[in-house]
């Protein structure tokens, strides 16, 4: 059709695939290199300062120096170095420096608190949980008190799990830790004191149960930030020394050479699933290197139940064969395995698909960790629901299945007035809107009014240079005028699924933009589109970005040739 253009697409796909294969480990996985993070570092130095002040003094000092050096010119911090300043990372970082390095960091703290005041202070935070978290760190640093904070009812754990599980969901561990910290700094009176004392053993048992199911002792969700919060809670609760020592050991083991910590330690599986899917969409399904990757992904399926969330065996998490199973990562792994067709063993696929079906909410949607949760940050999520629909349909479930119809009905009903969708774990509206378009197309309702509105909204959000960004979300740090490779790739794939022809100039410009953004080494520079704390702290994931870009170009090439992407021979 366009020989020169076609040859550039081929070259771009080949260079990206070979660059990714070159970094693949012998077991089929990929190392997921991410920049270190403000929250992980600030939390870790506070925890080590309180729990292990003598042995870890040098780590605390190095972490404080790292934080100070990464302060933005406006006095704040974002989720990762150089990201736009946001309220929660700024409050936590300033509090950490005030606690562990009051004299050396005095000017940095002063500037940060001035920015916090200019942003409206804690009153500007809409999430009550984040208000409490920010206030707690200010209290730890001697910069505030607990007055005005609602008491965290630890005694909720004395009730049956079916009562508190949907309310706490993945916040169960920080709920316990924060209750311990609050009780230390603002001891409850009267009946509250008795209830807290009665519930304390249940809280410690819950933390032990979560920790025993992790990949690494002392880790909680592979998350240094969360492990630090739990460590602080254990210290304030006077917990057994062994429990404190395990979280200290986890944090000490994960410090980076420059004195910082990641937010999330282990994201190899989730990132690897995006790469494997991208390689499949680019035509490498039968390549032995991708076969090895699928074998590794398949082997990470969890064979034990996760009782805290009430999930049976059979799902996947982001770290590996243990940890927190969740619906989105499970759907992503299944989407990476399914393109192999009959070359992929059917029994593990069937168990994984059945597990995913068992996690559908009574509403027809999927959240992330717990079915029918009432916790806003767990779900129902349009992006997750759409990804689950795509995986289930790809696994052979017919579009007429009532569970698929309920999911599509929920998606239609959850559309925003402007035609877009917002997900829980990727910023803005581009990702979820594009993913819902894929689900509508695979579910046979791509011509529905909701699908047309979503398509039109996505097209209207395309930037002048052919790319997509997060959309005008109003979230500090989100630049609606700058495109990213992740969001452009999501949009291109979604619009192709919606039926726009590859010859459409808008899609052609998107593909051109993705190719132009590719580096000489064949890879793309990732952007902070992954959410650690919704609307408040972002991080980058290079494997996700590169897998999305490769897959989008593969899908575009396939549409150009009006057939499946040409199979690439193994090299």
**pLDDT tens track for 323-342:** 999 999 999 999 999 999 99
Structural domain boundaries enclosing 427:
3-34+272-298+367-560
In this structure, is residue 53 part of a structural domain?
yes
Q: Which tokens belong to 432?
A: 């979820």
Q: Residue 73's domain is classified under what CATH number?
A: 1.50.10.20
Answer yes or no: do 88 and 192 share one domain.
yes
At 40-83, the pLDDT tens digits run 999 999 999 999 999 999 999 999 999 999 999 999 998 888 88
Using DSSP's 3-state secondary structure scheme, residue 452 falls into: helix
Asked whether residue 182 falls in the same domain as residue 292, the answer is no
Count Cα atoms within 13 angstroms, Cβ side, for 325. Answer: 28
Contacts of 159 (CB under 8 A, 6+ apart): none
Residues 440 and 554 placed together within one structural domain of the fold: yes
Q: Are residues 155 and 191 in the same domain?
A: yes
Answer yes or no: do 21 and 74 share one domain: no
230 with 286, same domain? no
The string over 350-360, giving b where at least 16 C-beta atoms fall within 10 Å of a residue's C-beta and e elsewhere, is: ebbbebbbebb
pLDDT score, position 195: 95
The tally of domains found in the chain comes to 2
- The model's confidence at residue 392, banded by pLDDT at 50, 70 and 90, is very high
- Whether residue 248 is found in the same domain as residue 107: yes
Written as six digits, the tokens of 409 are: 């009905």
What per-residue confidence (pLDDT) applies to 148? 72
Q: What is the pTM of this model?
A: 0.94
Q: How far is CA 195 from CA 148, 165, 201, 203, 207, in A?
A: 20, 19, 11, 12, 18
Same domain, 281 and 207: no
Q: What is the DSSP string of 269-318?
A: HHHHHHHHHHHHHTT-TT-HHHHHHHHHHHHTS--S-BTTTTBPSS---S
3-state secondary structure of 203: helix
**324 with 335: CB under 8 angstroms?**
no
Joined together, the tokens standing for residue 339 give 């393109």
The string of pLDDT tens digits covering residues 356-380 is 999 999 999 999 999 999 998 898 9
The answer on 294 and 181 residing in a single domain is: no
pLDDT of residue 528: 87
Residue-averaged pLDDT of the chain: 93
Select, from the ranges 207-216, 544-553, 562-571, the one with the highest average predicted confidence (pLDDT). Answer: 544-553
pLDDT score for 287: 97
For the residues 156-183, what does the mean pLDDT come to? 95
The dihedral of CA 194, 198, 201, 205: what is its sign?
Answer: negative
Q: What is the rounded distance in angstroms from the CA atom of residue 117 to the CA atom of residue 122? A: 9
């Amino acid at each position: 059709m366009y020989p020169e253009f076609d040859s550039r697409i081929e070259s771009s796909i080949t260079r990206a695939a070979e660059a990714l294969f070159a970094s693949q480990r012998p077991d089929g996985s990929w190392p997921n290199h991410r920049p270190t993070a403000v929250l992980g570092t600030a939390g870790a130095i506070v925890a080590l300062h309180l729990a292990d002040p003598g042995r870890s003094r040098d780590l605390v000092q190095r972490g404080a120096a790292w934080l100070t050096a990464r302060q933005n010119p406006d006095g704040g911090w974002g989720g990762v170095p150089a990201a736009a300043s946001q309220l929660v990372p700024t409050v936590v970082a300033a509090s950490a420096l005030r606690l562990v390095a009051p004299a050396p960091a005095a000017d940095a703290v002063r500037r940060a608190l001035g920015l916090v005041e200019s942003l409206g202070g804690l009153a500007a935070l809409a999430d009550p949980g984040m208000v409490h978290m920010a206030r707690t760190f200010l209290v730890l640093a001697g910069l505030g008190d607990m007055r005005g904070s609602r008491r965290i009812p630890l005694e909720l754990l004395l009730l049956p799990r079916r009562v508190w599980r949907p309310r706490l969901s993945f916040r169960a561990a920080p709920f316990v830790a924060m209750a311990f910290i609050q009780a230390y700094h603002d001891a409850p009176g009267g009946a509250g004191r008795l209830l807290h004392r009665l519930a304390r053993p249940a809280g410690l048992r819950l933390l032990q149960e979560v920790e025993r199911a992790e990949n690494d002792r002392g880790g909680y969700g592979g998350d240094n930030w969360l492990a630090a919060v739990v460590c602080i809670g254990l210290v304030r609760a006077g917990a057994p020394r062994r429990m404190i020592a395990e979280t200290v050991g986890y944090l000490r083991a994960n410090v980076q050479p420059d004195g910082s910590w990641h937010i999330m330690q282990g994201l190899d599986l989730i990132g690897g699933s995006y790469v494997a899917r991208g390689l499949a969409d680019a035509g490498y399904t039968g390549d032995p290197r991708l076969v090895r990757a699928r074998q590794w992904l398949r082997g990470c399926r969890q064979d034990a139940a996760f009782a805290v969330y009430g999930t049976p065996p059979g799902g996947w998490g982001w770290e590996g064969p243990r940890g927190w199973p969740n619906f989105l990562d499970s759907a992503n792994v299944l989407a990476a395995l399914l393109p192999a067709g009959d070359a992929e063993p059917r029994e593990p696929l069937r168990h994984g698909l059945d597990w995913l079906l068992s996690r559908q909410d009574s509403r027809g949607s999927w959240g992330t960790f717990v079915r029918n949760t009432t916790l806003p940050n767990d779900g129902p999520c349009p992006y997750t629901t759409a990804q689950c629909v795509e995986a289930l349909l790809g696994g052979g479930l017919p579009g007429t299945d009532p569970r698929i119809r309920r999911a599509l009905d929920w998606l239609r009903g959850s559309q925003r007035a402007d035609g877009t969708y917002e997900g829980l774990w990727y910023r803005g509206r581009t990702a979820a809107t594009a993913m819902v378009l894929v689900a509508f197309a695979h579910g046979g309702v791509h011509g529905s009014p909701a699908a047309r509105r979503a398509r039109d909204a996505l097209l209207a959000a395309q930037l002048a240079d052919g790319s997509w960004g997060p959309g005008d979300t109003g979230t500090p740090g989100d630049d609606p005028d700058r495109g990213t490779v992740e969001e452009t790739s999501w949009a291109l794939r979604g619009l192709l699924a919606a039926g726009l022809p590859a010859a459409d100039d808008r899609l052609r410009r998107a593909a051109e933009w993705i190719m132009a953004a590719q580096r000489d080494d064949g890879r793309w520079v990732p952007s902070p589109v992954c959410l650690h704390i919704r609307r408040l702290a972002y991080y980058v994931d290079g494997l996700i970005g590169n897998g999305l870009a490769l897959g989008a170009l593969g899908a575009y090439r396939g549409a150009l040739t009006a057939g499946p992407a040409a199979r690439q021979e193994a090299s």
